[in-house]
Amino acid sequence: MLSALKGFFEHKLGSPSSLTRCGKAVPRSFIRRLQIDEFRQVVRYAAAHQRFFAQKLKEHRLDASSIRRPEDLGDIYTVPEDLISRPPEDFLCRPPDTVFETTGTSGPPKRLYFSYDEIDRSALYEAAALRENGLRRGDRVVCTFDAGYWISSWVTFLACKRLGIFCSAVGKPQPSEVYSRMPVYGYNVLIADPTWLVSLTEIAEREGAFPMKLIFAAGDRMSGAYRDYVQKVWNAPIILGYGSTEAGGGLGMECPHGKGYHVDEFNFLFEILNPDADGYGELVFTTLSRRTEPLIRYRARDVTRMLSEPCLCRTPLARIDAIKGRRDEMVVMGAGNMHPAIFENILEGVEGITTNWQVAVRQEGLRDILEFRLELADGIDSAHVERAVTRNLEARHPDVWGNLACGMYRLAFRFLPAGTLVAGRKPTRLVDERSESG
């Protein structure tokens, strides 16, 4: 019954405009029942067709027919390392139509396989999210997500096709190339990753911004300072999205109120693993509608929490908070439990550095060293930058500063030429090098 209702919702009403109109009328209780029903179905399907999951059930002496909710699976999860270390055949349930890869910033890339219908389905739900945020026929979109083996560009292009909106999905060219074409093609919507977007905005600040309706950013965290800067230069709001190749595209997107990501509960079931006192823990999701390579309780490594208060947009879909960091990027050291978001806050407003930065944890003797690796710009003196960073550390994170005052670690700075820290599609912001330095 629930699956039939969902099919009617998607295919009879299934334009992006119908999804956004009808989505607000769907009660939370229905959504949850729908998720549990589909969770049971995908568990049974994977048990029958996926070697990896069937083996996990056998190891834990579980019968798929007895699994009703995620917690019934105990400590069975799919982790990123599984996708890297095991052959694709262990996860494939049927012949695929296409493959995409993750960015590979923390090791070898993960390869994910899909059917064409699954990509189209992702595009439908992204189209609904874009429409909810104001995209309409007549808008002109330029999308600069890396096209290569990365999935986001293709899903966004198909989402714009669903909406009947002009779209140039141009891969990831130099920002100057896109800037020169903006008046030629009349783009009024930008879709890009935050680092690339900041580089384009620096050009617009120098040479003049063009009229812009909306800007969508995803692919990496965007600090408040960078968001404010981009919005000010273009005089247009930024909407942030969150997704991954493993998810097949988008997992969630902000609404115009900008209070967390509304997540796609029709295609995913979400859990927060080991939440702390504030509710923050590792995001875990199950792909409810995929049948080529379903992922059961996939540990995304991203740290966030569920938001319980209703959103002003009245959409009943659950929300997750802004990503605090990655579980595999968290470093426990003398300064405390460090996340990249801490350093985003410390570096916010510091003049004379580029958007590329890295913080490394090293060890000298028995002492932890917290080393800021920064690229200088605009001829700023490095001593000026050191003072600004130190002031921000003391003022904005007194607990971390207190550990420094107690001698639990030392600060260090390394200044590099512009462009040195650019590597791959996403910068690795926080690294632990203590094992290498002894």
CATH number at residue 357: 3.30.300.30
429 and 339 in a common domain? yes
Angle of CA points 434, 423, 363, to nearest 5°: 10
**pLDDT mean over 299-309:** 93
Cα separation, 345 vs 99, in Å, equals 37
Radius of gyration of the chain (CA): 23
432 vs 296: which has the higher pLDDT? 296
pLDDT surpassing 60 at residue 114: yes
97 vs 419: which has the higher pLDDT? 97
Q: How high is the pLDDT of residue 423?
A: 57
Q: How high is the pLDDT of residue 437?
A: 36
Q: Report the domain count for the chain.
A: 2
213, 236 Cβ separation under 8 angstroms: yes
CB-based burial label for 115 (10 Å; 0-12, 13-18, 19+): middle
**CA diameter of the chain:** 67
pLDDT surpassing 70 at residue 4: no
Q: How high is the pLDDT of residue 89?
A: 97
Q: What share of the chain is helix, strand, coil (3-state, %, to 5)?
A: 40, 25, 40
Residue 121, classed as helix, strand or coil, is: helix
pLDDT tens profile 74-107: 999 999 999 999 999 999 999 999 999 986 544 5
CB-based burial label for 264 (10 Å; 0-12, 13-18, 19+): buried
How many other CB atoms are there within 10 angstroms of residue 204's CB atom?
17
pLDDT surpassing 80 at residue 11: no
362 and 265 in a common domain? no
Cα separation, 363 vs 397, in Å, equals 22
pLDDT surpassing 80 at residue 142: yes
Using CA atoms in the order 234, 170, 187, 236, what is the torsion angle rounded to 10 degrees? -30
285 and 378 in a common domain? no
pLDDT surpassing 90 at residue 25: no
365 and 223 in a common domain? no
CATH number at residue 84: 3.40.50.12780
Q: How high is the pLDDT of residue 24?
A: 62
pLDDT surpassing 50 at residue 13: no
pLDDT surpassing 70 at residue 117: yes
Q: What DSSP character marks residue 425?
A: S
pLDDT tens profile 243-302: 999 999 999 999 999 889 999 999 999 999 999 888 999 999 999 999 999 999 999 989
358 and 316 in a common domain? no
Q: What end-to-end distance do the CA atoms of the chain give, in Å?
A: 60
Which one of 73-82, 103-112, 325-334 scores highest in mean pLDDT? Answer: 73-82
Examine the fold and report which residue of 295, 323, 351 is the final residue of a domain before the chain moves on: 323
Confidence of residue 22 (pLDDT cuts 50, 70, 90): low
Angle of CA points 300, 313, 22, to nearest 5°: 85
Examine the fold and report which residue of 303, 323, 343 is the final residue of a domain before the chain moves on: 323
Cα separation, 365 vs 375, in Å, equals 27
User: Please, what is the average pLDDT of the chain?
Assistant: 88
369 and 317 in a common domain? no
Per-residue buried b or exposed e for 122-133, using 16+ beta carbons within 10 Å of the residue's own CB: bbbbbbbbbbbb
Q: How high is the pLDDT of residue 338?
A: 81
Q: Across the strands, what pairs with 250?
A: 243
pLDDT surpassing 80 at residue 10: no
CB-based burial label for 361 (10 Å; 0-12, 13-18, 19+): buried
Residue 240, classed as helix, strand or coil, is: strand
220 vs 152: which has the higher pLDDT? 152
Q: How high is the pLDDT of residue 320?
A: 96
pLDDT surpassing 90 at residue 35: yes
Q: How high is the pLDDT of residue 427?
A: 65
Q: How high is the pLDDT of residue 424?
A: 53
211 and 335 in a common domain? no
pLDDT tens profile 339-389: 787 898 899 999 999 888 999 998 887 678 999 999 998 778 899 999 999
Percent with pLDDT over 70 in the chain = 90
111 and 240 in a common domain? yes
Examine the fold and report which residue of 274, 295, 323 is the final residue of a domain before the chain moves on: 323
139 and 49 in a common domain? yes
Which one of 102-116, 184-198, 211-225 scores highest in mean pLDDT? Answer: 184-198
Q: What DSSP character marks residue 24?
A: T
203 and 109 in a common domain? yes
279 and 380 in a common domain? no
27 vs 60: which has the higher pLDDT? 60
Domain of 423, in residue numbers:
331-437
290 and 396 in a common domain? no
pLDDT tens profile 207-253: 999 999 999 999 877 878 789 999 999 999 999 999 999 999 999 99
Q: How high is the pLDDT of residue 158?
A: 97
Q: How far is CA 26 from CA 70, 110, 122, 124, 307, in A?
A: 23, 35, 20, 18, 19
Cα separation, 429 vs 374, in Å, equals 11
Q: How high is the pLDDT of residue 366?
A: 61
